């Protein structure tokens, strides 16, 4: 896969420290060894040292050169507790509560990223998306000038010509249940920037709906229309258009009929879904029916990169998401 090769090479060229808070999980351990061997990142496993070492032995995984951070014995725990308390005291956090919370590997890993003991974090082989996002939103927060954290998938559709020779970015399929039109505009802009900066493609962004250029009237369509106008106004340098039905967005013949004046219709390579139900269902439909590879959900908009895995992920998926996270950390 050409894109993944490029990203692996980019990750190797400027190695970053990526923390894996599910340190005693089998696929994570296998992935950690591979990441270390390939030189994609400096991995830090979080968890009980004895449990991790025993599990690695059972699996025949070599952990030489891989750091293990054990919240129970870490000399950084106090600093993490204090910082977490400071960040959340206005929300009713106490030092006692913070001491308990920060020992949770996901919070511990997130604090490592916050205090620059790691450059990024990848989790989700065991935990849910919400489990990863909550500490991220509370601790890392959004990057300057970014109003909302969202997610994207890189979809690789074998044998397809749609998008960029079968590669498309889908967003938001994992984070915001029902974005406002302002948030939808922000999600479109963030995904366009991700397409440019991470995937190195010229983004053509379609704002998806069940209506194409006024063919239907409904408050749900209005939201997409307003988001499109706002995104265009905020970023006139980007190719963003809508509202578009999926076929008008990616099929040239349909686009010629339904949206002949659009500079995106028929050739979109970034698809923005109006809400999480359509986005989540949409990516899974393509993944299953078209046998597409779905890389993600990757997060965008955080001040520092933290990324999720699907609980059904393989160790190779973890390797790829770590490489992507390392490249996100380079900027
Ligand atoms: N961007 C930026 N900040 C946000 C966002 C966002 N998207 N969402 C919430 N926040 C902020 C809030 O303002 C709040 O800040 P504060 O505590 O400093 O005031 C903080 O984050 C926590 O917000 P809550 O509303 O308490 O968090 P919530 O319990 O709603 O959880 C979450 C947020 C986890 C993102 C939730 O919306 C969620 O569960 N989303 C869906 C995740 C999911 O299940 N995805 C589908 C499965 S994934 C898959 O299939 C691949």
The structural domains of the chain, with segments of one domain joined by +, span 2-141+303-330, 150-289
| Average pLDDT of the segment spanning 210-235 | 96
Residue with CA nearest ligand 1 atom 26:
134
Lowest mean pLDDT among 101-110, 111-120, 210-219: 210-219
Q: What is the pLDDT of residues 61-94, one digit of tens each?
A: 999 999 999 999 999 999 999 999 999 999 999 9
| Rounded distance between C-alpha atoms, residue 272 and residue 172, angstroms | 7
Cα–Cα nearest to 17, from 104, 107, 105, 117: 117
The pLDDT score that the predictor gives to residue 2 is 81
Q: Do domains 2-141+303-330 and 150-289 have the same CATH topology?
A: yes
Q: How many residues does the chain have?
A: 331
Assess whether the previous peptide bond of 282 is cis (omega < 30° from 0).
no
Pocket of ligand 1 (CB under 6 A): 91, 129-130, 133-134, 137-138, 142, 148-149, 174-177, 280, 297, 310
| Token representation of residue 154 | 């890189």
179 CA to centre of ligand 1 in angstroms: 11
Rounded to 5°, angle at Cα 211 from 209 and 214: 125
The pLDDT score that the predictor gives to residue 56 is 97
57 CA to centre of ligand 1 in angstroms: 37
Residue with CA nearest ligand 1 atom 18:
138
Give the residue with greater pLDDT, 145 vs 331: 145
Q: For the chain, what percent of residues have pLDDT higher than 70?
A: 100
Q: Does 150-289 carry CATH code 3.40.50.720?
A: no
Residue with CA nearest ligand 1 atom 27:
134
What is the fold of 2-141+303-330?
Rossmann fold (3.40.50)
| Average pLDDT of the segment spanning 55-59 | 97
The pLDDT score that the predictor gives to residue 3 is 84
132 CA to centre of ligand 1 in angstroms: 10
* Whether pLDDT at 43 is above 80: yes
DSSP string, 178-219: S--HHHHHHHHHHHHHHHHHTT----EEEEE-SSSTTSS--H
The pLDDT score that the predictor gives to residue 1 is 64
Give the predicted TM-score (pTM) of the model: 0.91
Residue 45's Cβ-count burial label (10 Å; 0-12, 13-18, 19+) is buried
The mean of the pLDDT values for the chain is: 96
């Amino acid at each position: 896969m050409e894109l993944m090769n490029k990203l692996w090479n980019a990750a190797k060229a400027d190695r970053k420290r990526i923390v894996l808070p599910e340190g005693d999980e089998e696929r994570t351990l296998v992935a950690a060894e591979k990441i270390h061997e390939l030189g994609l990142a400096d991995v830090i496993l979080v968890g009980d040292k004895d449990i991790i070492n025993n599990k690695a032995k059972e699996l025949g995984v070599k952990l030489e050169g891989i750091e293990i951070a054990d919240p129970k014995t870490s000399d950084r725990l106090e600093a993490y507790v204090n910082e977490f308390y400071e960040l959340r005291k206005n929300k009713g956090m106490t030092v006692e509560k913070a001491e308990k919370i920060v020992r949770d590997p996901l919070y511990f890993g997130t604090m490592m990223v916050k205090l620059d003991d790691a450059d990024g974090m990848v989790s989700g082989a065991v935990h849910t998306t919400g489990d990863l996002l909550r500490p991220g939103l509370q601790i890392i927060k959004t990057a300057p000038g970014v109003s909302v954290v969202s997610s994207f998938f890189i979809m690789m559709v074998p044998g397809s010509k749609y998008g960029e020779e079968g590669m498309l970015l889908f967003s938001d399929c994992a984070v915001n249940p029902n974005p406002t039109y302002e948030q939808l505009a922000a999600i479109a802009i963030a995904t366009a920037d991700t397409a440019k900066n991470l995937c190195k493609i010229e983004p053509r962004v379609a704002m998806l709906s069940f209506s194409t250029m006024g063919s239907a009237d409904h408050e749900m369509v209005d939201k997409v229309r307003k988001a499109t106008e706002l995104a265009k106004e905020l970023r006139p340098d980007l190719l963003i258009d809508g509202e578009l039905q999926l076929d008008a967005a990616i099929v040239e013949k349909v686009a010629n009929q339904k949206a002949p004046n659009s500079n995106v219709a028929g050739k979109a390579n970034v698809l923005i879904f109006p809400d999480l139900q359509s986005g989540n269902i949409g990516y899974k439909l393509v993944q299953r029916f078209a046998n597409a590879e779905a890389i993600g959900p990757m997060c965008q908009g955080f001040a520092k990169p933290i990324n999720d895995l699907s609980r059904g992920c393989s160790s190779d998926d973890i390797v790829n998401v770590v490489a992507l996270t390392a490249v996100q950390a380079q900027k």
